[in-house]
Amino acid sequence: MKWLWSRPEKEVAVVSHGIVLEHMLYVFANDCDESTSHELCKRWFANCEIRSVVIIEKGLSNSSSEN
């Protein structure tokens, strides 16, 4: 995840084995509220599946809600 955060692009495609993506989302979901966590981890990846996920830095989500 650190490598993805360091990328200058606003959108990044990650192609991987489903279990790697599931693990990354599971680790990320541990720091989310319950409804977001459930949505990220609700099911396995299907073969050749495409998903779109928006990941927002924790500090940015708090500051945007204050404005």
Say what the pTM is. 0.53
Distance CA 52, CA 60 (A): 20
Distance CA 67, CA 44 (A): 37
pLDDT tens digits along 34-65: 777 767 777 777 888 888 877 776 665 554 44
Question: Across all residues in the chain, what is the average pLDDT?
Answer: 75
The DSSP line for 31-57 is TS-HHHHHHHTSSPPPTT---------
Distance CA 61, CA 17 (A): 29
